[in-house]
A and B are shown apart, each in its own frame.
Chain A
Amino acid sequence: MNDPDMAARQHQERMWVEAALAGDERAFEQLVAAYATPVYNLAYRMLGDPAEAEDAAQETFIRVYRRLHTYDPSRKFSSWILSIASHHCIDRLRRRRHRHVSLEEMPPWKPLVSQAPDPEERAVARDESARLQALLDDLPPDYRLPLVLHYWYGLSYNEICEVTGLSLSAVKTRLHRARLKFADIMRARAPDLIPSAGERRKRAARKAPAEANGVGRAGTADAHRAV
């Protein structure tokens, strides 16, 4: 975890935070550009809906801007921002659960879309990523969050504790149960997504979450290029 790229990025982020606190709007815009994809992806993986994810990600950045003066520079900025995003998503999921009690409040267009007349057409339109997301949506949110933080952001157990505020044993238990449950869901609903043994070995060699440094994988590199 002491690779020079990561140290340089953390230094850059600290400079942006300082400049933004001093009133430099451009510096804040650069922070947002660097974290747009990681924050959006977290919201999308947690909420499962692109429009709501966008809304939640924007709300996260509004909170980040308001609370920037409370950020402790000795902590990793990525942990801090992911923690704000995680808590906001969990809040939304809680509110949603309460709302589901009354059926009248459900938006009328939702059932119409899911009851589209042609199931084959739907199957084609839904790509592998969307199907994976549908499986993820079936996990309880408490299990989903550690799983998302581990796989999409390469966070260690301890880093997940820092972001979620959970104890180490709770993180381990939830991550383990999330994997077991996800295996059940995948076997029951999308057996074709399960990779063959050869494919699995290739994938494992290509990507290891432990190598990802802090703020997620491909998306961060893209975001930084966009800056």
Chain B
Amino acid sequence: MTCQEAQEHMMGALDGHMPDTERLRFQDHLQLCRECAQTWLALQQVDAVLRAAPMATPPANFARRASRAALETGQRQHRIVGPLLLGVGGLLVSLLFVFSALLSGGSMVAVLTLLLFGQLPGMTEALIEGMWLLLRMVWVAVDVWRTAFWGPLFWPVVALVAFSAAIWLAMTYITLRRSWAAATVR
């Protein structure tokens, strides 16, 4: 057995998976080779010291504190979801409001017609009618945007969108900051 082989066998010998045939050859090598015998002794000493090392125990109330901290941050996470949904919902509602304000009454009728088309007897006609109305609706919307851009409606609309976006961002920021603080402060 070479020194390198002997070194490789030391792991197996310490951790209890070394075949008996190898063990004899290993021991023969240790008899002959002073250097490997010294390494083997040192490894056995390390093994004995580390096996005897105790588990370090945390302070007595640690488990209680740790579980409370985990449960509290978990609950905070649940608390984020509510405001976040509220924020997103608010944004969507305000956008819907803005767009429906922009759309003329005629194009809202088109949307309602499309919703009804499955129940009508003349389906194809209804579909064509609906598509046509939808196209008209888009055109009307573009037209309203165009006139609004030049007209007095433009700036109130932009202000409304900016306002709702700002509220949404602020709410998101506040809730996230609170949960970060909870995660870092013990």
Closest Cβ neighbor of B182 among chain A residues: A62
User: A183 touches which one: B46, B52, B55, B77 (CB < 8 A)?
Assistant: B46
Give CA–CA (A179, B12) in the complex, Å.
13
CB pair A61–B50 under 8 Å, yes or no, is no
Give 30 A-B contacts (CB < 8 Å), ordered by A residue: A25-B67, A29-B63, A29-B67, A32-B63, A36-B63, A37-B55, A53-B58, A54-B62, A57-B62, A58-B62, A58-B70, A58-B186, A65-B70, A66-B70, A66-B73, A66-B74, A129-B53, A132-B49, A152-B53, A172-B11, A179-B47, A186-B45, A186-B49, A194-B49, A200-B48, A203-B51, A203-B52, A208-B51, A210-B16, A219-B57
Closest Cβ neighbor of B54 among chain A residues: A129
CB pair B39–A61 under 8 Å, yes or no, is no
CB pair B44–A200 under 8 Å, yes or no, is yes
Query: Size range of the interface on A?
Result: 35 or more
- Interface members, chain B 65-83 (any A CB < 8 Å): 65-67, 69-71, 73-74, 77
CB pair A219–B55 under 8 Å, yes or no, is yes
CB pair B48–A64 under 8 Å, yes or no, is no
| Binding site secondary structure of chain B | helix
Most buried by B among A151, A175, A222: A151
Closest Cβ of chain A to B51, distance in Å, is 5
Give CA–CA (A38, B54) in the complex, Å.
11
Chain A residues within 8 Å of B59, by CB = 54
Q: Is B153 in the interface zone, CB < 8 Å from A?
A: no
